[in-house]
Amino acid sequence: MITLQSSSIVCSSASRGIRTTLQAPKLRHLSLPKLPTRDLVEELKMRIGYTTTTQIEMKPQTTTTTSTRDDDGPSSSTVISELYAIMESVADRVEMHTNIGEQRDNWNHLLLTSINAITVAAATMAGIAASGGMGAPLVALKLSSTLLYSAATGMLLVMNKIQPSQLAEEQRNASRLFKQLHGKILTTLALRTPTPMDVKDAMAKVLALDKAYPLPLLGTMLDKFPATVEPAVWWPQLRGPAEQEGLGGKTEKNGWSSKLEEEMREIVGVLKRKDTEEYLRPSKIVLKVNRILAISGPLLTGLAAVGSAFVGSPHGSWAVFLGVVAGALASVVNTLEHGGQVGMVFEMYRSSAGFFRLMEEQIESNLKEREVERRENGKLFEMKVALQLGRSLSELKDFAASSSRNGKATEEFGSKLF
């Protein structure tokens, strides 16, 4: 009995094993990862510049992926990288111009103090030598005074040539303009996807600023006493069609209307007649004064050196006069020129005239653009012009209207800012 029960248990177990083996295995439910949405795919393609095609078939192991490079132009990621590289270079230039501007301002103060101290010491020695010195003390005082005056003359020649106060003002302007360019690039990256044209424009502006405000002193330094006075130019040439083509009617396109175009033309006329000339005229006067002072200082110290060399001679009266009085006058002239920073004043007037010249070219460039859609937005451009002139939009419109009525007889300047 026990044997039969054991045999039946073995047989039933074997049959269950056979049935289990013969049954087909149950397939588990496979969960595939969620595919990216179409919008995300399109965004990735736009960022990296690749067109990706993916084909998925139901058969196992038949998924194929092909990638092709979009060779129509540089990808947006490349353009963004280029703009960031330009931004880094601009930020570095801001730091360089700031540091060099401080250094050259220190030059002005240190050289002014040193030359005046040398001149006063030389005049004092010439006076002491003439007051009764004899023998070796007289020779020592005369020689010391002559050497000091000669050193002051050489230092004045170099200082008047480079004009440290004007150099410092140039570097301050360059630092401010490079900061402005850095901010414009940041705005472009924040508002829209940059294009290769943005990169080209930024590069042109950087090179134009480098040319307008060079860092080296030798070879590329700006002429401190130019033959003709022109406004400072720190921007690349703004190109536009030769002929003006306005809207003609009252239809507004891209924020522009015939009324706004007429308003901008009136503002350009006032800027040319009044504001630009208002800064060019005093800059010419300041340049003449600076040229006279730059010649007078070394000339006076040179005469004082000659006079101090003849102190104690038979013609000692006029020698003492030259040695003392010319030295005192040289200190006064040097203080007026470099203490008053006449070179800096000239550069300030020249840069202010350049500011208005840039505004004129920007307005004319927009007005000459035949395709209104390619211009800067009219409303935005009008607001920028108003801010640059220190006016509200209503004040700008009223000013343009009054200028149109009065013509050249208007006495009001376009800018209320400076």
pLDDT of residue 58: 38
In a domain? residue 168 = yes
Residue 394 host element (H or E): helix 393-406
pLDDT of residue 71: 43
The whole-angstrom separation of Cα 257 and Cα 264 is 11
In a domain? residue 290 = yes
In a domain? residue 240 = no
In a domain? residue 336 = yes
Burial (CB count within 10 angstroms: exposed 0-12, middle 13-18, buried 19+), residue 185: buried
In a domain? residue 24 = no
Domain region containing 261: 75-223+256-406
The whole-angstrom separation of Cα 351 and Cα 280 is 10
In a domain? residue 235 = no
Residue at 418: amino acid letter: F
The whole-angstrom separation of Cα 170 and Cα 161 is 15
**Long-range pairs for 166-169 at CB < 8 Å and ≥24 separation?**
166/224, 166/343, 166/344, 166/346, 166/347, 167/101, 167/104, 167/107, 167/217, 167/343, 168/101, 168/102, 168/104, 168/105, 168/107, 168/108, 168/344, 169/343, 169/344, 169/347, 169/348, 169/351
Q: HSE on the CB side for 290, CA within 13 Å?
A: 27
**Long-range pairs for 117-120 at CB < 8 Å and ≥24 separation?**
118/148, 118/151, 118/152, 118/155, 119/148, 119/149, 119/152, 119/301, 119/304, 119/327, 119/330, 119/331, 119/334, 120/327, 120/328, 120/331
pLDDT of residue 219: 80
Closest by CA position to 259, among listed 401, 381, 410: 401
pLDDT of residue 138: 86
Per-residue pLDDT in tens (0 to 9) along the chain, 418 residues: 344 344 444 334 444 443 444 344 444 444 444 444 444 445 444 444 444 443 434 344 443 333 333 444 567 889 999 999 999 999 999 999 999 999 999 999 999 999 999 999 999 999 888 887 677 888 899 999 999 999 999 999 999 999 999 999 999 999 999 999 999 999 999 999 999 999 999 999 999 999 999 998 888 899 999 999 999 999 998 765 444 445 555 557 888 989 999 999 999 999 998 899 999 999 999 999 999 999 999 999 999 999 998 887 777 788 888 999 999 999 999 999 999 999 999 999 999 999 999 999 999 999 988 888 889 899 999 999 999 999 999 999 999 888 887 766 667 888 988 7
pLDDT of residue 44: 42
Would you state the structure tokens that stand for residue 359, as one six-digit string? 């505004």
The whole-angstrom separation of Cα 338 and Cα 110 is 11
CB 304 within 8 A of CB 322: yes
* Strand, helix or coil for residue 281: helix
Would you state the structure tokens that stand for residue 132, as one six-digit string? 């009764």
pLDDT of residue 131: 80
Number of structural domains the chain divides into: 1
In a domain? residue 9 = no
CB 270 within 8 A of CB 281: no
The whole-angstrom separation of Cα 11 and Cα 17 is 10
Q: Looking at residue 408, what DSSP letter applies? A: G
Would you state the structure tokens that stand for residue 281, as one six-digit string? 């005229």
Question: What residues pair up with 51 in beta bridges, in sequence order?
Answer: 68
The whole-angstrom separation of Cα 83 and Cα 193 is 11
Query: Angle at the Cα of 238 (from 233 to 240), degrees rounded to 5?
Result: 150
In a domain? residue 244 = no
Closest by CA position to 157, among listed 331, 298, 309: 298
